[in-house]
């Protein structure tokens, strides 16, 4: 049992990525993020630009959720999101390339997005850890660090194989060490699960159920 985290909200990217989300839903998400004191809101690029209250960061997904986009398309999408106010880009890798062991493809697409969204934009690389072997998780994390990513992130929250696990977070953190941070996302439904991810090495959490989790209520969800 680890000590409760007093400032849990500051770890959270308060997230809404459902295909059916509306502009009104995004406005509610932003108001809720501000009220709860989350680190950021994480949204889809088609909602940009958005007005944010002071202090709330903007994370925007890229190549989401399949990752099956040309590297050039991911790069162009990231550049447009940055031009429209994104502080952080959460890109999905070509998971199939990782399954095939084509880590060169993965590294090159991350490099393309990094070039399109240079620092100080924060680049997070979503590896879809539940769909990868431990060996592939390690290799993809190395590719992400080599390509200049700031974070490796477990999951989209939309893959049938599942979302974040403490095992994956721990393995990812052990692999990247202090060269990058780890974001746990997808299927985190309780405060205990959120704190377990932090204990495993996550410094950011992607949560669509932030209000319930901060209130220590179990949230509903697909997994």
What are the catalytic residues? 90, 153, 183
Comparison of 165 and 209: residue with beta carbon closer to ligand G3H: 209
Question: Which residues of this protein are in contact with ligand G3H, per CB under 6 A?
Answer: 15, 17, 42, 156-157, 163, 185-188, 206-209, 221
- The C-alpha atoms of residue 31 and residue 25 are separated, in whole angstroms, by 10
Comparison of 17 and 172: residue with beta carbon closer to ligand G3H: 17
Comparison of 37 and 108: residue with beta carbon closer to ligand G3H: 37
Find out whether 198 and 169 touch, Cβ atoms under 8 Å: no
Give the residue from 88, 223, 77, 74 showing the smallest Cα distance to 159.
Answer: 223
Kindly state the tokens that stand for 55. 């202090």
Environment class of 119 (CB within 10 Å of its CB; exposed 0-12, middle 13-18, buried 19+): exposed
Kindly state the tokens that stand for 110. 């991350």
Find out whether 157 and 126 touch, Cβ atoms under 8 Å: no
Question: In the bound complex, what is the minimum distance in angstroms from residue 17's beta carbon to ligand G3H?
Answer: 5
Q: Which stretch of DSSP H or E encloses residue 218?
A: none
Question: In the bound complex, what is the minimum distance in angstroms from residue 74's beta carbon to ligand G3H?
Answer: 17
Question: In the bound complex, what is the minimum distance in angstroms from residue 15's beta carbon to ligand G3H?
Answer: 4
Strand partners for 153: 126, 183
Find out whether 150 and 179 touch, Cβ atoms under 8 Å: no
Comparison of 38 and 156: residue with beta carbon closer to ligand G3H: 156
Question: In the bound complex, what is the minimum distance in angstroms from residue 202's beta carbon to ligand G3H?
Answer: 12
Comparison of 15 and 175: residue with beta carbon closer to ligand G3H: 15
Q: Does residue 152 have a cis bond before it (omega within 30 degrees)?
A: no
Question: In the bound complex, what is the minimum distance in angstroms from residue 200's beta carbon to ligand G3H?
Answer: 16
């Amino acid at each position: 049992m680890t000590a409760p985290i007093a400032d849990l909200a500051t770890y959270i990217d308060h997230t809404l990525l459902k295909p059916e989300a509306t502009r009104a839903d995004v406005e509610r998400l932003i108001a809720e993020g501000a009220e709860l004191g989350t680190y950021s809101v994480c949204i889809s690029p088609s909602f940009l630009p958005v007005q944010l209250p002071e202090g709330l960061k903007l994370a925007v997904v890229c190549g989401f959720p399949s990752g099956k986009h040309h590297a050039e398309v991911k790069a162009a999408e990231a550049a447009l999101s940055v031009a429209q106010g994104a502080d952080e880009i959460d890109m999905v890798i070509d998971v199939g390339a990782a399954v095939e062991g084509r880590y060169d493809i993965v590294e090159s697409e991350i490099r393309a997005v990094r070039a399109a969204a240079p620092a100080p934009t924060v680049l997070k690389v979503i590896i879809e850890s539940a769909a990868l072997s431990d060996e592939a998780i390690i290799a993809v994390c190395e590719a992400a660090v080599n390509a200049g990513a700031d974070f490796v992130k477990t999951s989209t929250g939309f893959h049938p194989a599942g979302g974040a696990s403490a095992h994956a977070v721990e393995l990812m953190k052990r692999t990247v060490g202090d060269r990058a941070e780890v974001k746990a996302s997808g299927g985190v439904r309780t405060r205990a699960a959120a704190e377990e991810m932090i204990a495993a090495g996550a410094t950011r959490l992607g949560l669509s159920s932030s209000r319930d989790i901060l209130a220590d209520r179990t949230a509903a969800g697909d997994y």
